[in-house]
A = this chain, B = another copy of it.
Amino acid sequence: MAGNSFGQLLSVTTWGESHGGAVGVVIDGCPPRLALSPEMIQADLDRRKPGQSVITTQRAESDTVQILSGVFEGKTLGTPISLLVKNEDARSDDYLAFSQKYRPGHADFTYDKKYGIRNWQGGGRASARETIGRVAAAAVAKQVLWAATDMQILVYVKRVGPITATIDTTSLSLNQIDASIVRCPDPVAAKAMLALIAATKAQNDSIGGLVECVVRNVPVGLGEPVFDKLTADLAKACLSIPATRGIEFGSGFAGTYQLGSEQNDVFYMDNGAVRTRSNHSGGIQGGISNGQDIVLRVGFKAASTIGLEQETISTTGNNTTMAARGRHDPCVLPRAVPIVEAMVALVLADHWLRFKAQCL
C-alpha cells in the first residue's frame, strides 16, 4: 500500500535509505529447492555498484550481500528470503550543505511536503541506492525463470545523448554488453558515448539516453488480459526506476505514425512453428506474450545532481542557488542497465508463476 512492494506471486519488499544502517529486501513466494548462494546475488550487485569505472560515481561501496533467511544448505526453503547490504561510504557531510535547500530535479521537495520529515543526509528512498534490493531480488527471480524456462534477458545502452548504437539483437550476448564500461555492445558507439560522458563530466553536467531490452525464448501466454497486461506491468516496473521519462514497446512511438497494414504483425507457419513476419508489437499482443522476442526501450533523463550552479529555494521558502559537491554519476545509463534487467526479470518471474497457477 505504501508502495514498497512489487509482485503478486513472487513478491519483493525493499527497505532502507541511502544513509541509514543498511538497505535490503525480503522476497516472498520463491518456490523451494532452487539453488541460491550469496555469490549468485553478488555477481548481479557488482554490475550495479558504484565506483566501477571512471564514468560512474567514485563512491566506494563493496555492497556485500548477506542472506539472512530462506536458504538452507544452498537451497531455497520456500520461506521468505531476507537479503541485507550494509551502507559503508555514506558521507553525510556532502549533504549537510543542502539540508536547508531542495536540490533541483530531486525528490527533496516532494518528500518534505508529503511526509513533513526527511532524512537530509541523502536521497532517502528516492536514492538509487534503494535499487540494490531490486537487483538482489532479481537474482532470485532469475533462478525461478531458469528453473523452468530458457528465457534470456539482454539489456544494454542503446543511446547516450544523440549517439545511437547499431545492434544486431539476434547474435547479442552478455559478454558483448559488458565488453565496454558503458554497457553498449556496439564498439564504435560505445567509444563515442564514453567520450561524450567524459566531456559532460568535465563540464560538471550530466547526460541522458535510452536503454533497450530484448527478451528471447519467451513462452507464449505470459501476461493477464485487461489491467495486468505484460506491457502494463513492464511499464510500471521500468517507470518505477529513478530518472525514467518514458517507455515504449516494439516499434514504439515511431510505429504510431504508420498505417495498420504496415504495423500488423502477420502470422505465418515456419516449419510448424507460429511466427510473425515483423515484430512491431514487441512480442506482446493483447497484453500476452506471443512467443516472439519482447522488445522495450526506457528513456532516462540526465542525472539531476550536477556541479553547475543552479537556482533553487530553501526549505524555508527563499530563493537561493546551489551547486552539488557529492560524488555522482555524470550518466546513469551504464548502471541503469542491471536495474532495468532486474525489473524485467521480476515481472517475468511473477507472470511465469501466475501463468502456471492458472493451469489446472
Q: By the criterion CB–CB under 8 Å, are A226 and B14 in contact?
A: yes
CB contact under 8 A between A68 and B20, given known A28-B5, A125-B226, A286-B242: yes
Separation of A227 and B308 alpha carbons in the complex (Å): 31
A165 to chain B, nearest CB (A): 14
Interface size counted on chain A using CB atoms at 8 A: 152
Copies in the complex: 4
Name which residue of chain B comes closest to A219, CB basis.
B113
Q: By the criterion CB–CB under 8 Å, are A245 and B240 in contact?
A: no
Q: By the criterion CB–CB under 8 Å, are A107 and B287 in contact?
A: yes
- The residue from B102, B105, B246, B255 contacting A263, defined by CB atoms under 8 A apart: B105
For residue A98, CB closer than 8 A to chain B, the reply is no
Q: By the criterion CB–CB under 8 Å, are B245 and A255 in contact?
A: yes
Residue with the highest number of chain B CB atoms closer than 10 Å, among A16, A84, A104, A355: A104
Residue with the highest number of chain B CB atoms closer than 10 Å, among A147, A224, A359: A224
- The residue from B162, B238, B267, B288 contacting A313, defined by CB atoms under 8 A apart: B267
Q: By the criterion CB–CB under 8 Å, are A285 and B105 in contact?
A: yes
Separation of A311 and B275 alpha carbons in the complex (Å): 12
28 A-B interface contacts by CB (under 8 A)? A3-B228, A13-B13, A14-B226, A15-B26, A15-B28, A17-B77, A20-B69, A22-B69, A23-B69, A104-B266, A105-B285, A106-B286, A109-B274, A126-B225, A161-B259, A208-B260, A209-B257, A227-B240, A236-B236, A245-B256, A246-B246, A246-B252, A251-B301, A260-B301, A260-B305, A262-B302, A269-B319, A356-B360
